Amino acid sequence: MAATEILHTCIRVLDEARSLEFYTALGFEERDRKRVGGDTATIIFLGLPGDGNRLELTLNDGRAEPYDVGTGYGHIALAIPNLEQELARLATLEIRPERAPYISGPGGSLICFVGDPDGYRIELIEKG
């Protein structure tokens, strides 16, 4: 039988506090954490209110150098009811878009991108 849903996305991060501050500002809640890999890493599961644990942050012990995000990674997309209001709120937390919001194409949604502390791009899509 084929897959029926995406369970979660994992990204590797360096600074737990900075990452949690960033993703909490976007509306995520910490749901669970555990030690894995023979006790060599911590994983933290995050979710949006009313949804499952969709984002896994992995912190590998002893890692000090930034991860190479690579050219294959694209972004995580989040639905935002009012993009202008959300960007104003995020600005108070020093989170700013890469560039001004824009329409993704004819008949498309208003979108913009923000970057997390480790360089991962997050797309904010207005869905009102």
Neighbours of 121 (CB within 10 A): 15
Domain covering 1-66, topology: 2,3-Dihydroxybiphenyl 1,2-Dioxygenase; domain 1 (3.10.180)
Domain covering 73-128, topology: 2,3-Dihydroxybiphenyl 1,2-Dioxygenase; domain 1 (3.10.180)
**pTM of this structure:** 0.88
Average pLDDT over residues 77-87: 95
Average pLDDT over residues 33-55: 93
Band of residue 13 on the pLDDT scale cut at 50, 70, 90? very high
The catalytically annotated residue of 21, 30, 56, 123 is 123
Looking at per-residue confidence, does 68 or 27 come out higher? 27
Q: Is 123 a catalytic residue?
A: yes
